[in-house]
Amino acid sequence: MNTSRTFLFCILCISPLSVGANDTSSLQQQIDQLTQRVEQLEQQIKSMEQTDRWRDPVYWQRIKKGMTEQAIEKLLGKPARIENRIFTTWYYHQTSKIHSYIWFDEGAVLGWELPD
């Protein structure tokens, strides 16, 4: 049993209900539905964290000079676009080049500009 399912099962087990065979089937259906709903909500949260994480200034405050590209991707997610010129620049904002970017020199953070 996964954690969500176990938690829901425990709640139902400790409730002071006397349950017949038909009620047990009904409770199992409710557990299954609630488990499915919890899993869907967890996926939505995970998806939101992956796509919109860069908008949260708290994550930008964790950036340090010298961090690797892999560490930044883990922290903020994938950038919206990348430019390779004198320095590599990762842009997180879809359209703006005046904020939400990070400069890399040879794969290490050189500087950054937080989202507005």
- DSSP letters of 49-70? HHHHGGG-HHHHTT--TT-BHH
The pLDDT value recorded for residue 61 is 95
Put the strands of the sheet holding 101-105 in their side by side order. 81-84, 88-91, 101-105, 108-113
Asked if the model's pLDDT at residue 16 lies above 60, the reply is no
The pLDDT value recorded for residue 41 is 87
Asked if the model's pLDDT at residue 86 lies above 70, the reply is yes
Asked if the model's pLDDT at residue 35 lies above 90, the reply is yes
Q: Are 19 and 12 spatial neighbours (Cβ–Cβ below 8 Å)?
A: no
Asked if the model's pLDDT at residue 17 lies above 80, the reply is no
- Two tokens, residue 85: 């010129």
Share of the chain above pLDDT 90, in %: 56
- Average pLDDT, whole number, for the chain? 85
